[in-house]
Amino acid sequence: MSNDNIPADYDHLKEKEWQDKWEKTQVYKFIGDGTRPRYIIDTPPPYPTGSIHIGHVLNWTFIDIIARFKRMTGYDVMFPQGWDCHGLPTEVKVEEIHNIRKNDVSRDEFRRMCIDLTHENINQMKSQMQSLGFSQDWSREFVTMTPEYRAKTQLSFLELYNKDLIYRAVHPVNWCPRCETAIAFAEVDYNDNKTHLNYLEFSETEGDGKVIIATTRPELLSACVAVVVHPEDQRYKHLEGKNVEVPLYNRPVKIITDTDVDPEFGTGAVMICSFGDKTDVSWVNRYGLDIIEAIDETGKMKEVSGKYHGLSIPECKTAIIEDLKVDGCLIKQEPVDQNVGLCWRCKTPIEILVKKQWFVAVNKLETQIKETTEEIDWIPEHMKIRLLNWAGSMDWDWCISRQRLFATPIPVWYCKSCGKVQLPDPEDLPVDPSIENPPNTCECGCNDFTGEYDVLDTWMDSSITPMVIAGWPLPEYKEYYPADLRPQGHDIIRTWAFYTLLRCKALTDEKPFNRIVVNGMVFGEDGHKMSKSRGNVIAPEAVIDEYGSDSIRLWSANSVPGSDIPFDWKDVKNGYKFLRKFWNAFRFINIHIEEYQMDEVFAFENLNPMDKWILSKLNRLVADVTENLEKYNFADARNSIQAYIWHDFCDEYIEAVKYRLYTDSEDLQPSKNAARYTLKTVISTSLKLLSPITPHFTEEVNYYLEEDNESIHKQAWPLPVEKLMDIKAEKLGDIAVSIIGDIRRFKSATGRPLNIPITSATIYTTEPELHHVLKLLESDITGTTRIKNLNIEMGKPDVKEKVVELTPVMSKIGPEFKKDAPIIVKYLLSNDPNEIAEILEKEGEIIIEGHRITAEYVTGRKIIVGSSGEKVEIFHSEELDVVLEIVI
């Protein structure tokens, strides 16, 4: 034990000292020498935004608890940290900071801006992570924008291309006009919106027939290529196969039938545009319709739109509606709810444009993805359904090309002569085809190439993390692959989880990880998901500065995988209060165990009932916490530890052994040492159980507790001691706690300080077994509650009420007895009040100087007396068949 003076209060500002020491001593370094079983964590690589949020805290606390627990249970844990740098988030931020668009400066200059911002943000976020005590092995840090990582991403592209799982094709894609790039369906967010359903009149080209079309997108009239109705809709039977004219453009389009039409929506007649949504794409492909491109990459109308050429989409919509009104083709408008697809980053409404893009052949891999999903253990199990549903709903392949700059370049060139795709050699990676030429000539003999300017979707980087952290493509990677654990949020199941399963299975023919643990989202105190737009975001620093990182970790641990959790300041404050209570308990205990040398055999022989009670509960706690952490049930683990330390240990046991700790009696020395042994065992074991959740606090206490000052995080996880797990001992101790609690409540109810002794008390019970148990607990009860003379008896108290004072009721005696009133009052006050009360109770009256006096003429004050005649208080136990008779 350290001889240093223990501070009077726990100082959470010392957390930084421990963080620096852990980093310096590399406590959390993955060794990989095979001397211990390995545990590999495929850690989420966040976007380097420069600031972690409460959601990150929740996610990484989960990971850190698991990593720390596994280390203490004997595993060599690989807990790396990566940064997913590329893509829209960084580019959009650079454009905001510098007030530019990506094409306003050179490609190299824009990329340099992105790299500089990313380095700055990584440093900030790394510092924040370390301030929360997360135990990553920073020697295994990876950054997706480095040449080494880009080479691996490009190699994975080449391997999938050679397996015919990546191809280039002209296809409709989701397009963000703001970011000017294609995005995948998984990157489309949806938002409820109010708009108008416009009823437009299409005239029959040959005849007087009319068809009313209901549409929310009149700006796409120039791209209308057909009108579709349901084949069984009798309203349009006579028009089937005929042509109608598109309003304003006077262009004929055919009326076709399809069962996908909902006759109940709008008018039951729908215009097919190329392209308004996925349904339009499906119909265009199904019927081989023309493709008319009305919108360009920047969200402006193209020449085909006529007079609206160059207008933005909203401007075009407004102008067309006005023209339709003038033309008499707009019949009516009505409000309608709309679910609008938005770019996941800038929240601009997406469009569907026809583009030549690169795709991963998802549909070829659907069966394998589903099979691999079933091979993985999902925590919680129902999250697996989200991925299976997503895999089964993929109508389009994954578009992986982006028209941005800050990303991994697509490693291909195109021969200017024959158009053949030219690939680099693996040993030449990474390459940038926009500025480099291939080393070889084309098969046709041409050595003139056009480099690919598009870049890869950022998920192409992050979806190979299990392989990268294992050392792929080196053959030794299989020693660390698949990973044991993939922790992640449920909001990226359809992206990170899905793409990782897809790519790793396709590249390695194995599942990427054995188990996936899914965390929920954090909601603000207003009940909504935390977001800057709502103003309900709380920065982790605000919590750490006031209460320390261990307090916010305690809040995080009060949750389970898959469940959303509200941020609760009360829970954080309660955690802080708990740590301070534990600290104060340790300071008191340290006074008594500082010089104590552990002697387990001697202590076992002298354990008293309360020692056995707290030790049995401790070992049951060890078993329960271990099981809960193995099952990722962090809330039950955290709450059971806190309840045990706070209530069983601090409130009950420590109070129950104080009389043994302060004794100088030679006869009580064995009992005193047994209590000291128990105190040190409990606090040492409890610290280990708590250490994955509150690493700083437990390290600080351990520093003063252990002589060798070895980090608690390098110590072995405690195992339950079977011989100390005793249900009978727990029941016995629970009875003692209950009785002691009853006596404390009595003192509190009667206004007596807890430290004031009770002269004499008797405990009565009618249960023989309970009487026997109480006899065994007699010394603990007397010592803890400070009862000088305690008797434990079978039966019930022999007590009675005794009137000790009678007060005449003058408001009745005076008016009724007038001049004789003083005689009556004198008699009542000068005689034994109890005898008068007995006569009144027995006879109903007493005659004084010929006057009849009944109970209504007096008021009495009573006391309870025991069989000894002494004044007593009677107190009934709340939980036991026990009555307490306490001499006052």
**Biggest alpha carbon–alpha carbon distance for the chain:** 144
pLDDT, tens digit, for every residue of 455-467?
999 999 999 999 9
pLDDT tier for residue 1 given thresholds of 50, 70 and 90: very low
pLDDT, tens digit, for every residue of 800-854?
888 888 899 999 999 999 988 999 999 999 998 888 988 988 999 999 888 999 9
In this prediction, residues 854-871 reach a mean pLDDT of 85
Structure tokens belonging to residue 293: 């491109």
Cβ within 8 Å of residue 44, ≥6 positions away: 59, 487, 488, 489, 496
pLDDT above 70 covers a percentage of the chain that reads 99
Cβ within 8 Å of residue 386, ≥6 positions away: 490, 493, 494
Paired with 333 in beta bridges are 198
Rounded CA separation 161/421 (Å)? 11
> Chain centroid to CA 408: how far?
32
Tell me what the pLDDT averaged over the chain comes to. 92
Q: Which of 180-194, 196-210, 442-456, 618-632 has the lowest mean pLDDT?
A: 180-194
Question: Positive or negative, the Cα torsion across 155, 92, 121, 498?
Answer: negative
Q: Which helix (H) or strand (E) holds 214?
A: strand 210-215
pLDDT tier for residue 387 given thresholds of 50, 70 and 90: very high
* pLDDT > 70? residue 883: yes
On whether the CB atoms of residues 199 and 220 are closer than 8 A, the answer is no
Paired with 41 in beta bridges are 485
> Rounded to the nearest 5 degrees, what angle is found at the Cα of 861, between the Cα atoms of 859 and 867?
140
Closest CA to 226 of 259, 260, 268, 269: 269
Cβ within 8 Å of residue 443, ≥6 positions away: 418, 420
pLDDT tier for residue 389 given thresholds of 50, 70 and 90: very high
On whether the CB atoms of residues 625 and 641 are closer than 8 A, the answer is yes
Closest CA to 256 of 236, 277, 282: 236
Rounded CA separation 71/653 (Å)? 31
pLDDT tier for residue 549 given thresholds of 50, 70 and 90: very high
* pLDDT > 50? residue 2: no
Rounded CA separation 351/220 (Å)? 11
Burial of 574 (0-12, 13-18, 19+ CB in 10 A): middle
Q: Is 830 left (phi over 0), alpha (psi -120 to 50) or beta?
A: alpha
Cα–Cα distances (Å) from 187 to 88, 376, 494, 609, 884, in that order, read: 11, 24, 9, 62, 70
Rounded CA separation 41/57 (Å)? 17
pLDDT, tens digit, for every residue of 401-417?
998 899 999 999 999 99
* pLDDT > 60? residue 181: yes
The Cβ of residue 311 has, within 10 Å, a number of other Cβ atoms equal to 18
Structure tokens belonging to residue 812: 């009745």
